[in-house]
Structure 1
């Protein structure tokens, strides 16, 4: 390590230099003593594993758990957090062996890794009945799953995905487990933030709800890296308050933190450092900020030192599970000298003793930096962390302000348990598990109640007839809810040697459009693939291996619409508002850039569908006086607000755990809704995940940091270290650094904006006009129709020949006179004339049956009439058909008096009185069902389980009249 550091610190790098070197001294361990010692058999097991004493923070956490408190342990990597929950659970199970514990890990590999450590501890425990533990995840075979369900182990290791898809969805098969569940362990809690965290918050609420149903109230033991708000995040995730253990009393080896600056592409410098470490027999982990950069570093290492090709690997999301497992095993076994990874390896998987951590780009947060840096030096040896900053504002700020990292100014982690879109995804799952009750909905106008009301209107949730419970329309809605993805998942396929398309990886949501569009270059494990086709309908991407010497980057444009303002306040010389937004992003085309120099080669247009979503954002309204002063100074106003947007987004991660892809922004010189210029910053996830709300709270501090960044950057016109953004859809044009600085100074009040002598605004003159109330519109004229036939379907060759069945009698109820009008076959032309007089005709199965029979009697197109078909509306809402008799009985308490077979008999017997009366009664049922739906807002049906449920009927007469009339061709 000393030789590596000497060469690193003293080499005269051609295009790089060491900006700062900090040595973090070692720290001695601090131990504590439990008030009541652990059971002797547990102590003996610990001593067999080399544990003689417990750290002080481990003792503190165990005492809180013993006292029945939910706990969050927020201490650094390698501080012995796993031992806390293993001891707490083992102690409880030794005293009450019938109990259960559920361990949850964010990734499968971490769960299986932890099982090995847990099994080692449990096998050392001498007990009459051994404590059993097992993994239940997506890799568990069907046979193993069945055995685990039949006889659940005391400790079940899984992940939130499996909890969502399998355990909660089929909770009845786990009844004994739920009844005796004592602990829920949530490892790597800090990873449950943003979209994933908002989903997990709903999964945990469903878990607590199922546990209450079976009579258990488990304790939550949550383990986190160091963040600013562990108690807040724990409450956001579980809905329960928790005691926090923060102090770290574990020993720490000497650590070196080296900050570098470079003018060359980071992939090349990172590769040279990997080779340098390998020559000193140091094992290295390289963390990058993107999948593309991971592959570029891998390619650079193999080109720089071909002899290392077999001893270096990339590792990232999108790899197949078998690939990831092989790499993990080789790394833990010492077969790899280096691995280049995205965030996928930053969590606590045991990957052996590593010596050097190279951060290719600032990870975006202080917490993540130390989490990744904590992967080295775990065996007690001296270690080094090297940060290579990207040429963007936040990275450069960190390099020039290393105290931001070294002083441990931790960020806030945010999850939003009230995200409307995520709530609407999970409420049907909860209702399928156990019907929702009014108690579940909370207070009036609560987010849950609003979401339930929307789902009822959409027909996804069905309200019971008494209005007290809500059921899911679908039996298993869980499969439609991906708790990690922000959009649909796409399979990436590549041809095999025999020409068959085989899996290469996957992509999701808007990322697929941005990185896997036709013509894009996709990088995978050091190889380049050319995207031949993006199949949006089937969500398949076809990639062909090619040796392209360039990569691609999209260009796009965005629009922002304000849907609702939620909060507003004045800060300095500006107003900032928080609200719901609709964002539309259109990909225009892509650039080709040479692989290692990033030289722009050409631009190709693309025709892809726009991506539109609703989210939460805040916007800074910029007064006309600011724009006027900037233009009077000869500066570029649009370039100025565009630069402010870029720099503010770059500084945002200093205040909340996020990266550039979590937030978006747009600067608009004149927004049509507010009639001012504005800078918008919004959550890049549908529904919002709480980041914008955090930005609204600290907006002044955010703008002050942004101003300081621009003032301290030595460039004249702006550069990647201050106002350029690597993800700008307009190619970083226009930008004006001087204008941005002046705008920020005006907004913050550093420079005077308003002339105190300027005249105020005048009241608008009184025009003297009066308002005339419009006269009320007459109600629409409604007709309710039903027909009976002379023949049965089987007598004319089946239902496809309805036009041959012939009319026996037709009955029409006219809302204008309130009477029933009967028509026999000879009078059908009069009926057809009369049908054209109504604003709306209502029937049950009228479009596919009644009109099909009547069409044989007239050349006039009956399908062109304004018609509302109750059967069609109900089927569209539920996804299946219901009979008129069923709806009438359950909704009105009345039944049909006969059926179509009886009606044909009456016709052939000449019983016109019975036939006509029966048809009138069907029309009356149709009419009364329709008006019940209009007035009450629902109909009632009974499902297979015998539950009477409401079918939402958002039927407004004016809307039905307008929407039921077919569009006229032009």
Structure 2
């Protein structure tokens, strides 16, 4: 078997592990004592010799140890704090800890950027506790990206709290019982530990219930700041802006203290997230043990190799953590290891998101207490949860970023013993690139964490949430730059203006519930046949991964998708046990909306701009799990998904295209392969996953006028990723060409041009043509510029947004009227409101707006009434379509839905999502009340007092007319919301929008 083919194998090889020598079993209930720890150097030599014997190359890099650097504070900490530090074995503070404390004392916003296990917790706990010892009324809100960190930090805090000081700490999150949460609201502790999700959904919307916290909020801690990136980080930037705004409403201006793993842009990220300038402290004073870092590229299954190495580490007595890139793989490696070595028993566990809280706590405690010797995890244990000392770290596949690589590798190294890190390369483009370029891997700088607070979809959602928390004012300092957006939301009816025109309120109650801060789009619930939720999926991905017939995996169980309800946001599934998986087949279109920036490299124009992307899932394939043989293709009929985003694109000149075709290469397959390979390397430059990026190739793009490759952010509005790619595009060309040239396969493979998310099943692809195309893009291979004059399509599309033709307004109908009627019978009389056609006409009143006159009709004159209404160019009324017209259906076969109608109640409902009574609108807007009600009118009719019915109906028509006139003149009506506030309800009563001439 060729090396290139062997490298594509990622499945499990049970035969190889079955040949391994099992360890002798121990009696039940007793764990075998771990053997004495060998010198890591000796173990690494054994591994290298073993791989050399099998002909497998490996790369080794020795990371030297580092001595600690200490410092002293200008003013010493209070003695109770020093006593607490001595109890946990701290006699001196590191330089970065002292620098952070001094910055916090000076009122600055410290940001500590140091390695894992460098004592970052003390950089915020010590200055906060020092302040609390002097001011018991002050409060601190400590935010952690995951719940496990809350628990971990609470344990650390409890060791530092001086006895008898009266300082309390507590956690509030989604797991906190309602009774406990109520007590915390009534009397919040000085230190409240939580997460961004609860801040967004509870602390901010219900701030009045937490008033003691907000009034006295002195500090906000942001731990693991580097995790706030991409869509999540873009949401967090707005959550924190809302936090500052609510705090300001209570007179508080909290000081921020943050910690982060190493990234290339800590200062920029922290400012984007909080709006504050931070004092960055990145000189790490903590000691670091030496580490051995091995890069291994297995020729067989990478997962079998990982299981083998895990068992070897455990048998050598190395306490080991293995990181897998998927939940299922983490579970499988742990299961395979226990099956191969039954003596492991309960000493090896899996750990991942989706476990119950008690299951996660048990694993964490097992590691900390040495009851567990190893754990196989996803990124869930990447963050700084204290699980005790670890000796070895296995990375099953490149984690996706240098930052995550060192964050995970930083989990190992305890005492004075050196540690071991092993990266087992997968047959993925990035993994293979780094194995071929180990110097680049070890010397590569940390990536930038990208957020985009200007993402319009995210900004809009949080602006409405902010208005629901504290009304927006025209002089709001936190949203001074969003005045145009506020007006647009007002025009859309999502924000309502107060009666005096000074404040905007959110129309919807609790709009926060519609915002999933860890994704874009409303999530879909995945329900089993009993209606139980087994999980959720982002609305954006649901069509691709949860279409009917798709196979969905959850906790190792296969589920077949029965139905996808995009209206109710529900996915219905049933459990299955099958030997195939599914992949969607899709097509995409990209339209350029605006060019934001343009550059040129070696005669190749490239651009950054706003794009409109339309994705259509046309069907799906079934393929065997083992062997990946295609079983069949199946069509789907699903609605397209269209969104606007930000992307880059570059043109492929006609001369370069001709040069590629002259070599016999498939041009579409060539640029398609270039697109795939470039996207696979995108994480080299930004903290992202390849699934965050989309792409599409055109042999001729209708706007560009020639071949072009588009790469765009895969989220509506964009999240800043391709802006970073635009800045380094020539370098990305070079890295991509190197990737293709160095991959040993002939026609393309997952290590170079195949993409796991390709909507066309990785067809067509031409690796040789892709390499030649990249050489041309880089100017390494000459081509003749046969560029034709540039078409005007793109300029026209960008400079002149398309508008619908104005409607023909030349025809005028006879008259516009206001109409209302009263009935002979009530709903109870005819058997319910759905029997409105049986209620009978008592009186119909028409007010002619052109002639300023009433026309009154009773039942014998109903035909004349209907002719009057049918001839009108516009009929204005209140609840016309759901009541008045239904009553008249009994008298004539008329298409009532086609009449040019302005139904004020319909306008109200479209704006608010609920209905208001005519009497309420008239009282708030006009200061007038109805003269009677429908029940009184029925009583008058049954008593034969028809004149009183006519007069009452005329009064309702006049109220309706005055509301219509007021709305046309002012552009709004007034109503009183659930909180008793007089609010403007925007309306557009332009006759041309409703009358017959606009139809």
TM-score normalised per structure 1? 0.90
* 2:682 aligned residue: 652
More deviation, 59-68/464-473: 464-473
Contact 1:189 1:223 in 2 (8 A): yes
Of the three residues 128, 135, 157, the one matched with 1:96 is 135
1:843 and 2:877 correspond:
yes
What are the Cα deviations for residues 545-564 of structure 1, in whole angstroms up to 9, with x where unaligned? 64x5x452413213133262
From 591, 603, 628, the equivalent of 1:562 is 591
Unaligned runs of 5+ in 2: 1-39, 794-804
Change (3 A) 1:455 1:661: same
Cα separation, 1, equivalents of 2:834 and 2:755:
62
- Does residue 829 (structure 1) correspond to residue 868 (structure 2)? The answer is no
1:449-468 superposed matches below 5 A: 449-468=483-502
TM-superposed CA distance for 1:618, in Å, is 2.2
Cα distance in 2 between the residues matched to 1:410 and 1:77: 15
Structure 1 residues 859 and 565, CA, compared in 2 at 3 Å: closer, same or farther? closer
Aligned position for 1:316: 352
Establish whether residue 867 from structure 1 lines up as the match of residue 901 from structure 2.
Answer: yes
Question: Distance in 2 between the 1:818 and 1:15 partners?
Answer: 99
| Match status 1:539 vs 2:574 | no
Query: Of residues 770, 775, 778 in structure 1, which corresponds to 2:811?
Result: 778
1:877 aligns with 2:911: yes
Classify 1:214/1:184 alpha carbon distance in 2 versus 1 (closer, same or farther; 3 Å).
Answer: same
Is residue 371 of structure 1 aligned with residue 404 of structure 2? no
1:746 aligns with 2:746: no
Aligned residue runs from structure 1 range 746-825, under 5 A: 746-755=776-785, 777-779=810-812, 782-790=816-824, 799=833, 801-814=835-848, 817=851, 819-825=853-859
Q: CA deviation at 1:30?
A: 0.8
Structure 2 residue 606 is matched with structure 1 residue 575: yes
Match for residue 159 of structure 2?
A: 120
CA distance in 1, matches of 2:684, 2:119: 28
- Counterpart among 99, 103, 121 of residue 64 in structure 1: 103
Distance 1:541 1:14, change over 3 A: farther
Deviation at 1:836, TM superposition (A): 2.0
Helix, strand or coil at the partner of 2:872:
coil
In 2, the alpha carbon distance for the partners of 1:213 and 1:443 equals 14
- 1:30-41 superposed matches below 5 A: 30-41=69-80
- Contact preservation (8 Å) 1:867, 1:964: no
Q: Is the contact made by 2:608 and 2:723 (CA closer than 8 Å) also made in structure 1?
A: no
Which structure 2 residues correspond to residues 457-536 of structure 1 after superposition, within 5 A? Answer: 457-489=491-523, 506-511=536-541, 514=544, 527-531=556-560, 533-534=562-563, 536=565
**Segment drifting more, 291-300 vs 106-115:** 291-300
1:454-496 CA-to-partner distances (Å, cap 9, x unmatched) read 433443322222332111223322223222244554556779x
Checking the alignment, whether the CA contact within 8 Å between 1:571 and 1:748 is kept in structure 2 is no
Q: Aligned in 2, Cα 1:963/1:616: closer, same or farther, shift over 3 Å?
A: farther
**Partner SS state of residue 80, structure 1:** coil
Q: 1:567 to 1:804 in 2, by over 3 A?
A: same
* 2:727 corresponding residue in structure 1: 697
RMSD of aligned Cα (Å): 3.2
Report the Cα offset of residue 111 of structure 1. Answer: 0.5
Residue number among 462, 468, 488 corresponding to 1:426 in the alignment: 462
Alpha-carbon separation, structure 2, partners of 1:890 and 1:117: 57
Distance change in 2, residues 1:798/1:287 (3 Å) = closer
Change (3 A) 1:270 1:873: same
- What SS does the corresponding residue of 1:277 show, helix, strand or coil? helix
> Structure 1's 857 and 380: CA in aligned 2 closer, same or farther, altered over 3 A?
same
Residue by residue, what CA displacement relative to the aligned partner does 1:229-263 show, whole Å, maximum 9, x if unpaired?
01111111111111111111110001011111122
Matching residue within 730, 739, 743 for 1:709:
739
Provide the rounded CA distance (Å) in 1 between the counterparts of 2:446 and 2:713. Answer: 21
Task: Sort the Cα spacing of 1:882 and 1:23 in 2 relative to 1 into closer, same or farther, 3 A.
Answer: same
Matches of 1:774 and 1:178 in 2, distance apart? 53
**For residues 374-432 of structure 1, what are the alpha-carbon distances to aligned partners after superposition, in whole Å with 9 as ceiling and x for unaligned?**
11114442111111122222112222222333225011101222222222322232222
CA contact (8 A) 1:252 1:380 kept: no
Unpaired runs of at least 5, structure 1: 765-771, 966-970
Q: Secondary structure at the match of 1:17?
A: coil
Q: 1:610 to 1:348 in 2, by over 3 A?
A: farther
| Residues in 1 aligned to 2:632 and 2:321: alpha-carbon distance in whole angstroms | 36
2 CA distance for matches of 1:227 and 1:606?
45
In the other structure, the counterpart of 1:343 is 379
- 1:494 touches 1:543 (CA, 8 Å); kept in 2? yes
* Structure 1 residue corresponding to 2:624, chosen from 589, 593, 600: 593
> 1:258 & 1:199 partners in 2: Cα distance?
37
**Partners of 1:797 and 1:293 in 2: CA distance:** 62
| Alpha-carbon spacing, 1:312–1:504, altered in 2? closer, same or farther (3 Å) | farther
| TM score, norm. by length of structure 2 | 0.88
- Alpha-carbon shift at residue 538 of structure 1 (Å): 6.8
CA distance in 1, matches of 2:806, 2:875: 31
Cα distance in 1 for residues equivalent to 2:970 and 2:676 = 51
From the superposition, tell whether residues 759 and 871 of structure 1 become closer, same or farther in structure 2 (CA, over 3 Å). closer
Residues 753 and 947 (structure 1), Cα distance of their counterparts in 2 relative to 1, 3 Å cut: farther
Tell me: CA distance 1:298–1:908, structure 2 relative to 1, closer, same or farther (3 Å). Answer: closer
Contact 1:318 1:507 in 2 (8 A): no
Contact 2:118 2:284 in 1 (8 A): yes
Distance 2:527 2:947 in 1: 69
* Structure-2 separation of matches of 1:762 and 1:531: 48
Alignment partner of 2:187 out of 151, 169, 172: 151
- Paired with 1:706 and 1:147, the residues of 2 have a C-alpha distance of 58
- The alpha-carbon deviation at position 269 of structure 1 amounts to 0.7
DSSP 3-state at the match of 1:847: helix
Aligned length: 943
- 1:213 and 2:249 correspond: yes
Q: Of residues 396, 411, 428 in structure 1, which corresponds to 2:447? A: 411
1:662 aligns with 2:692: yes
Please say if 1:8 is aligned against 2:44: no
Residue 65 of structure 2 corresponds to which residue in structure 1?
26
